[in-house]
Amino acid sequence: MTIETTDWAMISDRTPERAFRVDGAGAAVWRLSWLPEHRLTRAQALAGMELDELLSDPTAVHDETAHQRVAQCAAALGVRYEEAVILLSRRMITRMRRHSGGRSPRESEPVLSGPTFRYHPADLAEDRPRLCG
């Protein structure tokens, strides 16, 4: 795991995500490619890059120390680690689709079926309200 840093950018040898510096109101402001709406300090940007690398490491799945570090990095960014996982996963899926030129089965399914809405099985999770039966 290596994060290369300069005064203006941070890149990883493990993931395609990056951090970059922009000038904002006379101060150095950092942005993460996967969290662009957040204005970050250099330390926060580095934490975001580390978080991405940790979540990209399949050997860390059962590593409690890595899980703790993920939580620390997420807290430094002011996001929940679950949110970070979702954002990074969505970006990965988008890249994979763009590379393959394909669509997911869900994207090709009709949204409406007959007189009622048709739900995808993923939408029927217990924590989601059901509008029609």
Tokens at 29, concatenated? 């402001």
Whose CA is closest to 8, among 19, 84, 17, 125? Answer: 19
Distance CA 102, CA 71 (A): 34
Q: Where are the domains of the chain?
A: 3-104
pLDDT string in tens for the chain (133-residue length): 689 999 999 999 999 999 999 986 667 899 999 999 999 999 999 999 999 999 999 898 899 999 999 999 999 999 999 999 999 999 989 888 887 766 555 554 444 444 444 444 454 445 544 444 4
